[in-house]
Amino acid sequence: MSEYRAPTDDMLFVLEHIADLSELASREGYEHADLETVEGVLDEAARFMEEQLAPLNRKGDEEGVVVENGQIFHPDGFADAYERFVEAGWNGIALDEGHGGGGMPWCVGLAVQEMMTAANMAFSLCPLLTQGAIDAISHHAGETLQEIYLPRMISGEWSGTMNLTEPHAGSDVGALTTKATPGEEGTWLISGTKIFITYGEHELSENIIHLVLARTPDAPPGTKGISLFIVPKFLVNEDGSLGERNDLRVVSSEHKIGIHASPTCVMSYGDEGGAIGWMVGEENSGMRAMFTMMNNARLSVGLQGLSLTDRSYQQARQYSIDRKQGKAIGSELTAGESSPIADHADVRRMLMTMRANAEAMRCVMYANAASIDFANSASDASERDYWDALTALLTPISKGWGTDLGVEMTSLGVQTHGGMGYVEETGAAQHWRDVRIAPIYEGTNGIQAADLVFRKLPLGGGQVIEKLVLDMVNLAEDLTKDERLISIGRALDEGTQKLREAALWLGSRLAAEPNDAAAGSTPFMRLAGVVIGGYYLARSAQIAQELLDGGKGNTDFLSDKIATALFYAEQIMPTVSGLVPAITQGAERLFAIPNERL
């Protein structure tokens, strides 16, 4: 298995030219996020993730976690690495300075998170869930609860979880039955069972702060009757020290396809009378807080598709250079010599497909994160509304398109290794197995696609996506004036037309034939991801060409950036034309065969 190396040069390029880091650094609260400082942060993060987390990735996959006497333990090295992770401050790099965080823009935090996830996805899930819990507490809990929990969660001394799913409910959160009854002094007693709780029990942090969805007495049915509660593993004394163990326990940890070192727990609350919890926000408002957690997590889960694609690409690239087999067309090898398989056209096609998609995903996801930063630092309500709407539009694309691609690209990584990719010896299969959960996490990708079509396309009467389309049209027009980039401009123009055509058709079906819109939602999510990813790569190529023309920057890096964008435009963008008929076909064929004959 090849070593992981964080692609900091590309990360910085995207932060500077796509996420517009310089503009962010001019805004109040982000003054410390200048490019030079961020470069130093990313270099240090890369060193930590490469040296501390990446070497544990294979060990975690092979050994997994162990459940003993109601406790869960990781393989040797994980606890020490987590302690160093906390001490270095990486858990809170982009979190609130007022509670001890680093206060960096979220786009910078996402870059650090990309490295962590690529280095060791199983490890990364603990900080990811903590981050979602922090976001929910920050936005919805009262000041007292924030003061008790946020500082130590932001530092990473305490971790967090999301407890949504129940055995009978799945993605139908409104069907949950976990109960909350009034306790003493404003507390609540929680009882019920939750499943698929990532890092529900472990030994890495001192305390685990569970955010649990439950129903209070006489709550209305469905999602309108759900409340959210903080339920700590250990109760917290008035002086901040840890007190008694709460009435909750891990029942088991699931045996999974991948991420073996990430415990996926069945949790039981209230076996001895009720786990003590504190309500977050108002009664029956748990869904609002839940969506705060999930929207935060959805971008991070989308990032898993990018991170594992890049890790798989790095390994496949190195293997294809080292592995020699056959003679490439046009080679001048003597008898008995073989070419590196990277010289064969189909292997090169796979490698370029992985590389181009990784760069497209990085652009979309960093732009998504930057839109959150621009919304948070907006000077007026209208600007904030614009950035909030763009965030809402990009998030299901980042999550759905990004994780679908992650599975496909890591599969290409296995294919590049040939037969050696299908055995565990090379480690190529681990990336594929680990990322396979990502299209399921935080709302399956079918839910992401439905959210995109039914909720996000109509935002602002369709003006949000129309504004993005207009930006694409203008860029395409500019690029077609440059002979060196004309094929990128033409591909972007064609893709933008298809995106608009499909979006208008779906919009016309939302009210009249909603099932037709539902049927076309998944291929539309793919189309939107491909085209928007192509748009950001087109911008990258334009900027790279301008820098080359001005004699600035690393010539090889910028030339490769343009070559990757050209490959994407000529090999990947044309696929969107084939998606439009599937999007606009309607639902009739999906339901032509009755259930009993399926």
Contacts made by residues 251-255, CB under 8 angstroms, sequence distance 24+: 251/193, 252/67, 253/65, 253/67, 253/72, 253/201, 254/196
Q: What's the burial of 32, exposed, middle or buried (CB within 10 Å: 0-12/13-18/19+)?
A: middle
Name the active-site residue from 166, 201, 359, 442.
442
Question: 249 and 271 in contact (C-beta within 8 Å)?
Answer: yes
SS3 68: strand
Main-chain phi, psi angles of 80, to 5 degrees = -65, -40
Q: Strand pairing of 66-68 and 242-245?
A: unpaired
Main-chain phi, psi angles of 231, to 5 degrees = -130, 95
Cα-to-chain-centroid distance, residue 382:
28
β-bridge mates for residue 208, sequence order: 159
DSSP code at position 588: G
- 214: how many CB neighbours lie within 10 A of its CB? 30
Instruction: Quote the CA–CA distance of 399 and 411 in Å, as a whole number.
Output: 18
- 66: how many CB neighbours lie within 10 A of its CB? 12
Provide the token pair at 303: 């990032």
Stated as kind and residue range, the H or E segment containing 235 is strand 234-236
DSSP code at position 325: -
Helices (H), 323-422: 345-376, 381-416
First to last CA, the chain: 43
What's at 328, amino acid-wise? A
Length of the chain: 598
What is the DSSP secondary-structure string of 174-231? GG---EEEE-STT-EEEEEEEEEEETSS-SSSSEEEEEEEEB-TTPPSGGGG-EEEEE
SS3 279: strand
442 in active site: yes
Say how many CA atoms lie within 13 Å of 524 toward its Cβ: 32
Tokens 């079906």 correspond to 509
Q: Strand pairing of 71-73 and 158-163?
A: unpaired
Provide the token pair at 31: 């003054």
Instruction: Quote the CA–CA distance of 252 and 71 in Å, as a whole number.
Output: 9
Torsion angle defined by CA atoms of residues 426, 430, 431 and 434, in that order, rounded to the nearest 10 degrees = 180
Instruction: Quote the CA–CA distance of 11 and 444 in Å, as a whole number.
Output: 28
Selection from 115, 92, 105, 96 nearest residue 44 by Cα? 115
Instruction: Quote the CA–CA distance of 309 and 435 in Å, as a whole number.
Output: 9
Per-residue 3-state assignment (H helix, E strand, C coil) for 480-504:
CCCCCCHHHHHHHHHHHHHHHHHHH
Cα-to-chain-centroid distance, residue 314:
19
Question: 263 and 199 in contact (C-beta within 8 Å)?
Answer: yes
The catalytic site residues sit at 442
